[in-house]
C-alpha cells in the first residue's frame, strides 16, 4: 500500500491537495494528522505529538487491513524531522510505502491563501505569524513542491506522476 504524506507549513494547501487526491483515486483513505491530536484547548508538545504519531500509524494499519482501501493520504504539519522519520519508519514497519512530499509557497502567496480561507478556525493573525516563522523548517525536507502559481489539479498530477 502506498501512503502519500503531504507536509508543509500551515495554510500551504496540504488538506486541499490531499482531499483532491483522495477524491480522485477510488479506494483512498484521507487522514488529517490534526484529527489524531484534537485536544481542546490545543496542546502541541512531545507527549501529544507522540500520541498523534501512534494514532496515525494505527489508522494506517487499519486501513491497510480493509480490502476496499488501496492507498492512504496523510496530511500533517511536521516541522520536526524526527516526527517525519517516526511516521516514515512506522509506515515502512507496516510494510507500506511512504511517499513524502513537502509543499511550500512564497510568503506573499501564503498570506493571500490565508486571507482567502475564511472557514478554518486557525486562520488568525497569530497563527499566520507562526506559520511564516516555520518556513525555514521545511526548505531542507524531501521532495519539495513549490506550489506558487500551481492549481490543485497540477500539484496532484505532479505527485501522481512521481508515484508511477
Look at residue 164 in the predicted model and tell me its pLDDT: 58
pLDDT score at 43: 86
Please give the C-alpha separations between residue 29 and each of 47, 68, 122, 162, in angstroms, as whole numbers. Answer: 26, 10, 24, 19
pLDDT score, position 28: 98
Q: What would the pLDDT profile of 78-92 be if each residue is shown by its tens digit?
A: 999 999 999 999 999
Angle (CA) 64 24 36, round 5°: 45
Supply 47's cell numbers.
507527549
- How many angstroms separate the CA atoms of 28 and 23, rounded? 8
Distance CA 107, CA 126 (A): 15
Report domain 2-163's class: alpha beta
Tell how strand 97-104 and strand 71-75 pair up.
unpaired
* pLDDT value, residue 121: 81
pLDDT of residue 64: 97
Going from the first residue of the chain to its last (164 residues), give the mean pLDDT of each consecutive group of 10, the final group possibly shorter. 96 96 98 92 90 98 97 96 97 98 95 87 88 91 94 96 76
Give Cα 141 distance to the centre of its chain. Answer: 13
Domain boundaries, given as residue ranges, for the chain: 2-163
Amino acid at each position: 500500500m502506498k501512503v502519500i504524506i503531504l507536509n508543509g507549513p500551515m495554510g500551504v494547501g496540504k488538506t486541499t491537495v490531499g482531499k483532491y487526491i483522495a477524491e480522485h483515486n477510488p479506494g483512498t483513505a484521507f487522514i488529517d494528522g490534526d484529527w489524531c491530536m484534537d485536544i481542546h484547548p490545543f496542546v502541541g508538545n512531545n507527549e501529544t505529538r507522540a500520541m498523534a504519531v501512534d494514532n496515525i500509524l494505527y489508522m494506517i494499519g487499519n486501513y491497510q487491513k480493509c480490502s476496499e482501501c488501496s492507498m492512504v493520504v496523510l496530511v500533517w504539519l511536521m516541522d520536526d524531522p524526527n516526527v517525519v522519520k517516526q511516521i516514515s519508519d512506522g509506515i515502512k514497519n507496516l510494510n507500506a510505502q511512504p511517499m513524502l512530499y513537502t509543499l511550500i509557497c512564497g510568503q506573499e502567496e501564503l498570506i493571500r491563501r490565508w486571507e482567502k480561507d475564511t472557514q478554518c478556525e486557525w486562520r488568525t493573525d497569530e497563527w499566520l505569524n507562526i506559520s511564516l516563522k516555520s518556513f525555514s523548517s521545511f526548505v531542507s525536507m524531501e521532495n519539495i513542491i513549490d506550489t506558487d502559481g500551481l492549481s490543485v489539479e497540477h500539484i496532484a498530477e505532479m505527485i501522481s506522476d512521481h508515484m508511477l
